[in-house]
């Protein structure tokens, strides 16, 4: 069956919260490891320094150890009041004056204080991504891999659970719903979350399966963290992630999708959402985050350094947006002009006032995200304000489909892929799953690693690898043990729509990349829970080498960020020395020219200290045969469910 590959034009304010918990790493020397860190976010200090220290603000306080009565009384004596506490994270949301919040950061028992920032949000793809290649499908049955039993938590603006895309007869697809916005509703008056959820797990009943989701039988957990206008807060997001940690076993939540976020101000070392993401990842939950939609400036010039939070978190799978030009074939695919590029530019500041930028390679990969057609929540704000977003698929409210575009749409493609991989191999750790996704990705010619990571997602290849990974691996499995159940190595190629392409055969690490067949034949200690893939790398004095106590000798690390020639990771034209990404202080400065664009900082501070995401109003052009509006014809719905 030929399926339409459309994506939409508009509004995606995407995602990202990111956290990193620090774990001792014997062999990794991070650039940020030197000097004493200042313990208050730059936007909080900006508010105080601009004469607004008496303003009441909402902040996230991170204690050094657990929250105790001394801290409680200190906050109260400073005129503060507790807004929210968390069961699984050592964090506290507090309302207090900006000046008092800044003074709290001077206490020895406080690790970091940051503003409780505002969060905002940032088709058809099952053929071109390779999802259809791992199953046979028709209107009466899906035979094969469909996400059965896997829970995907969608943190977004809510879900219209009555939409036909989520209706499987007597078996509800949306198995749990929670509201964290204080609006007392879990439907989707904004319209973003329904669209995102159906990309990850829509059932294909509308239009004879033209708009089938990636994991069409996965369970959906609807966690509403964006309000009726598509706006949320850090504390709402943290509360939802806390809920996931407490209820993961009840609903078998294995994947979290965050198509939302905010500009990255604090280093992932201090960002509270990044810390929560790391905690979930270490517990075995795959967290997928959008890269952002800030790849070009107001004049259409290419810019680098605008990966949003939580996409800056090393443990998250950060996804950028690809343009498929509406075709199933992948030989014309590109990275969209608006997809945010790395490196990550969040930072921490030492006592001397020197900024230490994270400068990590992100995104990890890209997925279709331009002009995607997916489920439309009834009477949602986006379509009300922009009627052209309605795709004209149906006249029935519970069967309508709409266009949206951006990394918000690419992210649930990866989330759905993770669900399929976990269905065939539930023992995969988040690190190993991420490595398989990037190893099997397709490098897009002419785009560098700061634009595409390892390349465009290839679900067929990733699932094929997941099937043959051993299911008896544990945290104590020795380095060098066989990774696969077979000695017959998977052929590193995939055929989609009659075209065969090669895999990247590499993975993205913090400041570098690694290649080598050992990545899929030999167990690497970086695949263990509680680790980062980058733990297998030693950095220092401008040199990157592999740590052979963490990775086998057959794994090779690179010394250049490459512009791909479309073959494998590491081939192509050198774009930037990797040594420029790390050092005691940042080697890169805002405004530096990076080949075809300028690197800029991500920490945009407004007058009142509020951090918001950007929205885009038009998709990148997707012209096919001279038609700039779409490529394949839209498949109009006749009102009959595609079930039998």
Query: Which CATH number covers residue 113?
Result: 3.30.70.80
Max mean pLDDT range (79-83, 114-118, 260-264, 389-393):
389-393
Kindly state whether residue 562 falls inside one of the protein's structural domains.
no
Is the confidence at residue 632, as pLDDT, over 70? no
Residues 110 and 124 in one domain: no
Per the structure block, which two tokens stand in for 248?
């993961």
Kindly state whether residue 395 falls inside one of the protein's structural domains.
yes
| C-alpha dist (Å) from residue 365 to 361, 372, 504, 634 | 11, 18, 11, 28
Q: Output the domain CATH number for residue 183.
A: 3.40.50.200
Q: What distance in Å separates the CA atoms of residue 252 and residue 294, rounded to the nearest whole number? A: 34
Q: Specify the number of domains making up the chain.
A: 2
Domain end point (choices 89, 119, 149)? 119
Is the confidence at residue 189, as pLDDT, over 50? yes
CA angle, 274 then 275 then 280, to 5°: 95
Q: Among 308-312, 350-354, 361-365, where is mean pLDDT lowest?
A: 350-354
pLDDT tens-place string over residues 578-623: 988 886 545 787 788 888 888 876 444 433 322 222 334 455 555 4
Q: Is 408 a catalytic residue?
A: yes
Residues 232 and 242 in one domain: yes
Q: Among 270-284, 434-448, 607-621, where is mean pLDDT lowest?
A: 607-621
Residues 134 and 110 in one domain: no
Q: How many CA atoms lie within 13 A of 624 on its CB side?
A: 17
Q: What distance in Å separates the CA atoms of residue 583 and residue 541, rounded to the nearest whole number? A: 7
Q: What is the pLDDT of residue 621?
A: 56
Q: What is the pLDDT of residue 1?
A: 37
Residues 87 and 133 in one domain: no
Q: Which pLDDT band, with edges at 50, 70 and 90, does 129 fall under?
A: confident
Q: What distance in Å separates the CA atoms of residue 269 and residue 21, rounded to the nearest whole number? A: 7
Residues 46 and 64 in one domain: yes
- CB of 510 closer than 8 Å to CB of 532: yes
Q: What is the pLDDT of residue 290?
A: 94
Q: Which of 132, 146, 156, 271 is catalytic?
A: 156
Stretch 160-177: mean pLDDT: 90
Kindly state whether residue 13 falls inside one of the protein's structural domains.
yes
Q: What distance in Å separates the CA atoms of residue 419 and residue 177, rounded to the nearest whole number? A: 19
Kindly state whether residue 137 falls inside one of the protein's structural domains.
yes
Q: Is 192 a catalytic residue?
A: yes
Residue 275 per-residue DSSP state: H
Domain end point (choices 119, 149, 167)? 119
pLDDT tens-place string over residues 206-248: 888 888 999 999 999 999 999 999 989 999 999 999 999 999 9
Kindly state whether residue 541 falls inside one of the protein's structural domains.
no
Kindly give, in sequence order, each residue whose CB lies less than 8 Å from that of residue 335, ignoring residues fewer than 6 positions away.
Answer: 320, 321, 322, 323, 366, 444, 447, 451, 452
Is the confidence at residue 486, as pLDDT, over 50? yes
Q: With CA atoms as reference, report the closest residue to 27 among 355, 559, 509, 588.
A: 509
Domain end point (choices 77, 94, 119)? 119
Q: Among 149-153, 160-164, 228-232, where is mean pLDDT lowest?
A: 228-232
Kindly state whether residue 438 falls inside one of the protein's structural domains.
yes
Q: Which of 408, 440, 504, 534 is catalytic?
A: 408
Q: What is the pLDDT of residue 599?
A: 86
Q: What distance in Å separates the CA atoms of residue 592 and residue 303, rounded to the nearest whole number? A: 10
Kindly state whether residue 240 falls inside one of the protein's structural domains.
yes
Q: Among 76-90, 117-131, 188-202, 412-426, where is mean pLDDT lowest?
A: 117-131
Q: What is the pLDDT of residue 618?
A: 56
Residues 369 and 300 in one domain: yes
Residues 387 and 321 in one domain: yes
Q: With CA atoms as reference, report the closest residue to 341 among 591, 599, 593, 12.
A: 599
Q: What distance in Å separates the CA atoms of residue 446 and residue 444, rounded to the nearest whole number? A: 6
For residue 249, which phi and psi values (nearest 5 degrees)?
A: -75, -30
Q: Which of 46, 124, 163, 192 is catalytic?
A: 192
Residues 175 and 190 in one domain: yes
Kindly state whether residue 525 falls inside one of the protein's structural domains.
no
Mean pLDDT score of the chain? 85
What is the span of the domain harbouring residue 64? Answer: 38-119
pLDDT tens-place string over residues 519-546: 999 999 999 999 999 999 988 777 888 9
Residues 131 and 99 in one domain: no
Q: What is the pLDDT of residue 7?
A: 33
Residues 56 and 151 in one domain: no
Q: With CA atoms as reference, report the closest residue to 220 among 162, 169, 159, 269.
A: 159
Stretch 488-492: mean pLDDT: 95
Residues 332 and 450 in one domain: yes
Q: Is 163 a catalytic residue?
A: no
Q: What distance in Å separates the CA atoms of residue 97 and residue 436, rounded to the nearest whole number? A: 47
Residues 110 and 126 in one domain: no
């Amino acid at each position: 069956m030929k399926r339409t590959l459309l994506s939409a034009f508009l509004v995606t304010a995407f995602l990202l919260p990111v956290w990193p918990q620090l774990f001792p790493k014997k062999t990794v020397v991070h650039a940020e490891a030197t000097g004493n860190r200042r313990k208050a976010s730059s936007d909080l200090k900006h508010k105080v320094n601009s004469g607004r220290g008496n303003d009441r603000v909402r902040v996230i306080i991170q204690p050094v150890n657990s929250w105790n009565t001394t801290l409680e009384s200190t906050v109260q004596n400073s005129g503060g009041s507790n807004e929210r506490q968390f069961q699984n994270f050592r964090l506290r949301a507090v309302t207090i004056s900006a000046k008092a919040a800044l003074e709290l950061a001077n206490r020895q028992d406080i690790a970091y204080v940051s503003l409780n920032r505002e969060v905002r949000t940032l088709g058809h793809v099952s053929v071109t991504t390779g999802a259809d290649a791992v199953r046979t499908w028709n209107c009466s049955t899906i035979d094969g891999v469909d996400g059965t039993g896997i829970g995907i938590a969608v943190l977004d603006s809510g879900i219209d659970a009555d939409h036909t895309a989520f209706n499987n007869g007597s078996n509800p697809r949306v198995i749990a719903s929670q509201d964290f916005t204080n609006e007392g509703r879990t439907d989707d008056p904004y319209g973003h979350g329904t669209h995102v959820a159906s990309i990850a797990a829509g059932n294909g009943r509308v239009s004879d399966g033209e708009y089938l989701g990636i994991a069409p039988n996965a369970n959906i957990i609807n966690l509403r963290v964006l309000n009726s206008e598509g706006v949320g807060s850090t504390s709402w997001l943290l509360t939802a992630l806390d809920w996931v940690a407490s209820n993961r076993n009840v609903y078998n939540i294995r994947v979290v999708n965050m198509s939302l976020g905010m500009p990255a101000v604090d280093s992932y070392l201090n960002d509270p959402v990044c810390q929560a993401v790391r905690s979930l990842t270490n517990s075995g939950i795959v967290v997928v985050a959008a890269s952002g939609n800030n790849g070009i400036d107001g004049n259409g010039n290419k810019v680098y350094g605008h990966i949003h939070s939580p996409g800056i978190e090393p443990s998250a799978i950060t996804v950028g947006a690809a343009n498929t030009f509406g075709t199933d074939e992948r030989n014309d695919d590109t990275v969209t002009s608006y997809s945010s590029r790395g490196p990550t530019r969040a930072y921490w500041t030492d006592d001397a006032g020197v900024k230490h930028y994270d400068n990590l390679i992100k995104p990890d990969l890209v997925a279709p995200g331009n002009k995607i057609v997916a489920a439309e929540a009834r009477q949602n704000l986006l379509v009300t304000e922009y009627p052209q977003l309605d795709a004209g698929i149906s006249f029935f409210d519970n069967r309508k489909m709409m266009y949206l575009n951006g990394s918000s749409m690419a992210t649930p493609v990866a989330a759905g892929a993770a669900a399929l991989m976990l269905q065939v191999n539930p023992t995969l750790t988040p690190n190993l799953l991420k490595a398989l996704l990037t190893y099997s990705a397709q490098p897009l010619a002419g785009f560098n690693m700061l634009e595409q990571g390892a390349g465009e997602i290839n679900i067929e290849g990733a699932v094929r690898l997941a099937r043959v990974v051993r299911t008896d691996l544990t945290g104590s499995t020795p380095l060098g043990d066989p990774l696969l159940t077979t000695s017959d190595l998977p052929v590193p190629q995939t055929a989609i729509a009659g075209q065969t392409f090669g895999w990247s055969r590499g993975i993205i690490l913090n400041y570098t990349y690694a290649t080598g067949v050992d990545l899929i034949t030999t167990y690497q200690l970086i695949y263990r829970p509680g680790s980062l893939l980058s733990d297998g790398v030693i950095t220092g004095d401008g040199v990157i080498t592999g740590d052979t106590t963490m990775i086998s000798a057959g794994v090779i690390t690179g010394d250049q960020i490459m512009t791909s020639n479309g073959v494998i990771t590491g081939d192509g034209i050198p774009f930037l020395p990797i040594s420029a990404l790390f050092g005691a202080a940042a080697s890169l400065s805002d405004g530096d020219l990076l080949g075809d664009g300028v690197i800029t900082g991500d920490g945009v501070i407004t007058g009142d200290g509020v951090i918001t995401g950007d929205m885009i109003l038009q998709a990148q052009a997707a012209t096919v045969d001279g038609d700039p509006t779409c490529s394949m014809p839209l498949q109009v719905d006749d009102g009959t469910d595609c079930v039998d």
